Structure 1
Amino acid sequence: MSKSLDIKISNTGIATLTLNRPERHNAFDDELIVEMTEVLEQLAANPQARVLLLTGAGKSFSAGADLGWMKRMASYGEAENLADAQKLAKLMHTLDTLNMPTVAAVQGPAYGGGVGLVACCDMVFAAPEAQFSLTEVKLGLIPAVISPYVIRKIGAGQARRYFLSGERFSSAIAQKIGLVHELAPQDEVAVLATSWATQLLNNGPLSMAAAKRLVAEVADKPICSELTGLCAQRIAAQRVSAEGQEGLTAFLEKRPPNWVKH
């Protein structure tokens, strides 16, 4: 692994992935995108990893696209740009659908694609210093690849403002529009995020992954017999699963379930 990413897995199962290019405000290029995707895929296959904690080193969370990468993209043809964009799309999809809870500790500014990373995480904690901006239109571009995740988080109405304006907005506004869940002082953001990551370890790992998929399946769907039938199938399957049986038995026997480490 290059020095641009740092990954550490605690003995409790918290995998901390740090964007480690503070001198470049943790901006990413094509190489980092591929590397980060590979790291996430490895974590998904690692039974020791149960929660992902995503953060950035230095003053910024992520400034989005690296300047050098942008210069190369400017010389690409449409086919090359499509291949390049598909790599970023794969990264966002991999993070969004990761088979474990994802917690973001946003200690500083997040711009462009950095907002996309934030929008893909399940729980987001940010500092007052963590300004946000979808800056693409200022460069004559659009936030296309990250748009499904950002729009899902903040809604179409807010997206129409911030996609078009490219303005910076505070972490307080980010919380108000649904991009961020909780705020904390800059030196406490990582502590708060780690605390929540630790609390998540008390929950069934497979049930959390299933609950995450359930949100994706149910969100924005009309309530009809097909949807209610799907939900009934999901809970029935979970009740008879090994994890569901262990959780119910542990509750009835008034003991911790076997996925809780002491």
Structure 2
Amino acid sequence: MSVVLTEISDRIGIITLNRPEKRNALGPDLIAGLHSAFEAMSANEEVKVIVLRSTGKAFCAGADLAYLQQLQDFSYEENLADSRRLMELFRLIYCLPKVVIAEIQGHALAGGCGLATVCDFAFAVPEALFGYTEVRIGFVPSLVSVFLTEQIGYAKTQELLLSGEFISSAKAAELGLITKVEAAEFLRESVQEFATKLVTQNSAFSMSKTKTLLRQLNENERNKSLDLAAETNANARAHEDCKKGIAAFLSKTSPDW
């Protein structure tokens, strides 16, 4: 079964993370599948707005830590290439000339929270938790730091990334991390209604040019920062704290910091 599902209905493209048994963790197949799906939706003239959703209880639990543990034995160059693949996915979604709406039915943590961050709008259920928890396992939330700083500002980004704390949907909405909190039974309907409004009431040309303009405002600085972030990500994987933290997480124990 494919780890990424796609469909198109009434000019709305739907991309679904379909790895529920792993809480939709961002492994290489899922990252590649998402990249291909977003590129295809971007090029498809039938699609005006894109909805990103997930199957299962979690929206996305972040990086596939079992895979990251394997990468710890790889070279720096191999880790940098792997880091850049996630970087390119985030950048693709963030700069896509079509509006992307995240439909968050469960927890969005670490890289999964980053996935929500790079979408243009995000609707989430009250029960969903958000958080950039990398510091709890000796890792560095480097890639998301670039987009998050641009979205909610330096001070709040620092608070979230250094604390590694979970926050509620209500708090995420207050910070501007998500757009709206919606009861689970109305989430899909609310997202569909909002997407349909964009499709029927707004010019595709205008939305595309407006989003492109906004992304071009800090483009050079963002790209430099992303290169630095990818290098930081690759270096962090080889550090002893990262090795200890991931091993502890996978064995369901607490690392001794």
Listed as ranges, the matches of 1:47-58 within 5 Å are 47-58=45-56
1:219 CA drift (Å)? 6.8
The corresponding residue for 1:209 is: 208
Selected match of 1:145 from 121, 143, 146 = 143
Q: What's the secondary structure of 1:75's corresponding residue?
A: coil
CA distance in 1, matches of 2:218, 2:30: 31
Answer yes or no: is the 8 Å Cα contact 2:17–2:30 preserved in 1. Answer: no
Over alpha carbons, which structure has the higher Rg? 1
Q: Residue by residue, what CA displacement relative to the aligned partner does 1:208-247 show, whole Å, maximum 9, x if unpaired?
A: 1001112223479xxxxxxxxxxxxxxxxxxxxxxxxxxx
The corresponding residue for 1:228 is: none
1:195 CA drift (Å)? 0.8
Q: Does 1:199 align with 2:197?
A: yes
Return 5+ residue gaps in structure 1 as ranges: 221-262
CA distance in 2, matches of 1:85, 1:218: 25
TM-score relative to the length of structure 2: 0.81
Answer yes or no: is the 8 Å Cα contact 2:25–2:61 preserved in 1. Answer: yes
Selected match of 1:36 from 34, 42, 51 = 34
CA distance in 1, matches of 2:97, 2:208: 5
The corresponding residue for 2:250 is: none
Q: What's the secondary structure of 1:18's corresponding residue?
A: strand
Q: CA RMSD in A?
A: 1.5
Listed as ranges, the matches of 1:56-205 within 5 Å are 56-202=54-200, 203-205=202-204
Answer yes or no: is the 8 Å Cα contact 1:61–1:109 preserved in 2. Answer: yes
CA gap 1:108/1:90 in 2 versus in 1, 3 angstroms: same
Q: What's the secondary structure of 2:80's corresponding residue?
A: helix
Answer yes or no: is the 8 Å Cα contact 1:115–1:150 preserved in 2. Answer: no
1:28 CA drift (Å)? 1.3
| Counterpart residue type for residue 82 of structure 2 | D
Q: What's the secondary structure of 1:132's corresponding residue?
A: strand
| Counterpart residue type for residue 17 of structure 2 | L
Q: What's the secondary structure of 2:153's corresponding residue?
A: helix
CA distance in 2, matches of 1:111, 1:209: 29
Q: What's the secondary structure of 2:122's corresponding residue?
A: strand
Return 5+ residue gaps in structure 2 as ranges: 220-257
Answer yes or no: is the 8 Å Cα contact 1:126–1:171 preserved in 2. Answer: yes
Answer yes or no: is the 8 Å Cα contact 1:95–1:120 preserved in 2. Answer: yes
Q: Does 1:6 align with 2:5?
A: yes
CA distance in 2, matches of 1:24, 1:135: 17
Structure with bigger RCO (C-alpha 8 Å, 6+ apart): 2
1:56 CA drift (Å)? 1.0
CA distance in 2, matches of 1:216, 1:46: 21
| Counterpart residue type for residue 159 of structure 1 | T
1:87 CA drift (Å)? 0.3
Q: What's the secondary structure of 2:142's corresponding residue?
A: coil
| Counterpart residue type for residue 210 of structure 1 | K
1:31 CA drift (Å)? 2.0
The corresponding residue for 1:226 is: none
Q: What's the secondary structure of 1:201's corresponding residue?
A: helix
1:73 CA drift (Å)? 2.0
The corresponding residue for 1:255 is: none
CA distance in 2, matches of 1:193, 1:219: 29
CA distance in 1, matches of 2:23, 2:186: 20
